Structure 1
Amino acid sequence: MGLGGISIWQLLIILAIVVMLFGTKRLRSLGSDLGSAVKGFRSSMQDEGDDKTEGEEPETSETAKDKSDV
């Protein structure tokens, strides 16, 4: 028994049918597109995390002057 009652032979047959339907070229481009989407998602999540950890900038003398002028 394999995953959820599906044997390895059934998985291989499904894989062969998918390759016949879509072709290796289209599957390769689909995998490439999916990989770049995951990479972009991870980098945007990392950027979002970096923005939250930075928080507000510490107040410098210039920003303190600007606030007092208002």
Structure 2
Amino acid sequence: GGTQSIPGGPVASQEAIKLLGTNGGGFFNANSAHPFENPTGFTNLLQVLLILVIPFALPRTFGRMVGD
């Protein structure tokens, strides 16, 4: 029987930085391809859509703020 080493650590505190920034691959160094971060294709698609919500919502928010 072999042993298995499952990596763990402060993943949650670095996840938002990984999603909003362009500076690296996150805690597991595999972007969102690591199974602990995206277990299925649906969660990957959902994550991509949610990442796009921020840049799409900011111009609309600015337009509502200035009244145009």
Task: Using structure 2 for the length normalisation, give the TM-score.
Answer: 0.38
Query: Of the two, which has the highest radius of gyration?
Result: 1
Q: Which has the higher helix share?
A: 1
Which structure is richer in relative contact order (CA contacts within 8 A, separation 6 or more)? 2
Task: Using structure 1 for the length normalisation, give the TM-score.
Answer: 0.37
